[in-house]
Amino acid sequence: MPLAQPITPHLWYDKQARETVEFYCSLFPDSAITSSVTYANEYASNGEILSFKLAGQPFMAISAGPYFTFTPAISLMLNFDPARDADARSKLDATWDALVAGGKTMMERGEYPFSPYYGFLQDRFGLCWQLMLGSPSGQPRPFIMPSLMFTGDVAGKAEQAADYYRTVFDDSRAGYIARHPEGASPDQPGTLLYSDFALDGNWFAATDSAYQHGFGFNEAISFLIHCRDQGEIDRYWQALSRVPESEQCGWCKDPFGVSWQIAPLMLDEVMKSGDRAKIDRVMAATMKMKKLDIAPLREALRDT
Is residue 92 located within the same domain as residue 202? yes
Residue 303 pLDDT: 65
Residue 137 inside a domain? The answer is yes
Residue 134 pLDDT: 83
With a cut of 90, say whether residue 110 has pLDDT above it: yes
Residue 220 inside a domain? The answer is no
The pairing of strands 57-63 and 8-13 is parallel
Is residue 26 located within the same domain as residue 150? no
Question: Are 118 and 109 a contacting pair, CB within 8 Å?
Answer: yes
Residue 21 inside a domain? The answer is yes
Give 83's pLDDT tier (boundaries 50, 70, 90): confident
Q: What is the pLDDT of residues 18-35, one digit of tens each?
A: 999 999 999 999 999 999
What is the average pLDDT across 183-207?
Answer: 95
Q: What is the pLDDT of residues 234-261, one digit of tens each?
A: 999 999 999 999 999 999 999 999 999 9
Is residue 48 located within the same domain as residue 124? no
CATH number at residue 46: 3.10.180.10
Residue 236 inside a domain? The answer is yes
pTM for this structure?
0.95
Which residues are bridge partners to 8 per DSSP? 224
Residue 42 pLDDT: 67
Distance CA 29, CA 211 (A): 36
Residue 286 inside a domain? The answer is yes
Q: Tell which residue, 6, 1, 9, has the closest CA to residue 223.
A: 9
What total number of domains does the chain contain?
2
Residue 5 pLDDT: 82
CATH number at residue 150: 3.30.720.110
Rounded to the nearest integer, the mean pLDDT of the chain is 93
Q: What is the pLDDT of residues 117-135, one digit of tens each?
A: 999 999 999 999 999 998 6
Residue 135 pLDDT: 66
Is residue 156 located within the same domain as residue 257? no
Q: What is the residue range of 12's domain?
A: 8-66+228-301
Sheet holding 47-54, edge to edge: 32-39, 47-54, 57-63, 8-13, 221-227, 259-264, 251-253
Angle at 298 (CA atoms; ends 235, 293), nearest 5 degrees: 30
Instruction: Compute the 3-state secondary structure of the chain and give helix, strand, coil in percent, each to the nearest 5.
Output: 25, 35, 40
Is residue 184 located within the same domain as residue 109? yes
Exposed / middle / buried, residue 222 (Cβ in 10 Å: 0-12, 13-18, 19+): buried
